Amino acid sequence: MEVASRFEAHEVDLHGHRAIYRVAGSGPTVVLIHGMINSSRHWQPVAEKLAGSYRVVAPDLIGHGDSATPRGDYSLGAHAATIRDLLTSIGIERATIVGHSLGGGVAMQFFYQFPQRTERLVLISSGGLGREVSPLLRAAALPGVSPLLRLAAQRQLVDAIDAAGGQLRARGSAKGIYLEAIARALRPLQESGARRAFLQTLRSVIDMHGQHVSATDRLYLLGDMATLIVWGERDRTIPIEHGRAAHDAIPRCRFETLPRAAHFPHLEDPDGLATVLADFLATTAPVRIDDSEWAAVIAQQAKSRLRAVA
């Protein structure tokens, strides 16, 4: 495979559907998985800073960015399997897996399904670590929201929200960052296929009560995995307490916060995030897990639970 020196887009056909990914740099592979309604493009500032030492691969999840928006399965497991197939198709066997928000849930699912392919795991403002989530996302998961979403995504309204956010941010108001994030989320939803894919993805992990998919019962599986959790200190979408609790539950896990960032550290503080990622990559060794080790971890946990019940 020819490695691009810049963050260039490539296309592969996966099971009859267009899958887009972007590549920069050369060296050990780092996979960057974006969150809901984001795309691989949003990783560019971070990818370019890592590209001097690593081969950075950032896919557009199916239903997001420039990838296809078919009717189908938008669960975390389906996204993880698609990334496995994408990496296989371009000749990548193992990688450090980095996920933001929904992408954090996908990254954890990738590790759970394909531990032999995972060298390190990085979770950035990750979903799947607690029930609480912003009221806006809970409301978007309600039945009958599709027509409202179509109205909210109209170009003129999105431009107005974005402009208002920029003005508030220039005045030093944190509300400006929040409004800009809303505009960024709404802009891709002007296409009906993207709206459908968004709602299917959202409802696979969130309902009116919050996140209904949790990885907390399987965090023990990360005992031997080099793991980093990063959170924006101004995050109002997913509470930073989720990251702290996961850090406490995962042995040898690192936890870093970024004071300048809210829920999108790769956009709000890409330099800070890239510095944290580069340090983690440079100071940890890639992990190799085989089937026998995986079976032993699960068996040991089962024995511990039986002893606790007894």
Which one of the listed residues 34, 64, 79, 263 is annotated catalytic?
263
Strand ranges of the sheet holding 17-24, from the earlier edge strand across to the other edge: 8-14, 17-24, 55-59, 29-33, 95-100, 118-124, 227-232, 254-258
Backbone φ/ψ region at 100: left (φ over 0), alpha (ψ -120 to 50), beta: beta
Beta bridge partners of 118: 95
One-letter amino acid of 36: M
> What CA–CA distance (Å, rounded) separates 265 from 309?
42
- Tell me which of 101, 126, 134, 204 is the catalytic residue: 101
The 3-state DSSP class for residue 67 equals: coil
Q: Does 235 qualify as catalytic in the annotation?
A: yes
Active-site residue 73, yes or no? no
How far is 78 from 134, CA to CA, in rounded Å?
A: 24
Q: Is 79 assigned a catalytic role?
A: no
Tokens in use for 49?
């800073």
Q: Which residues are catalytic?
A: 101, 235, 263
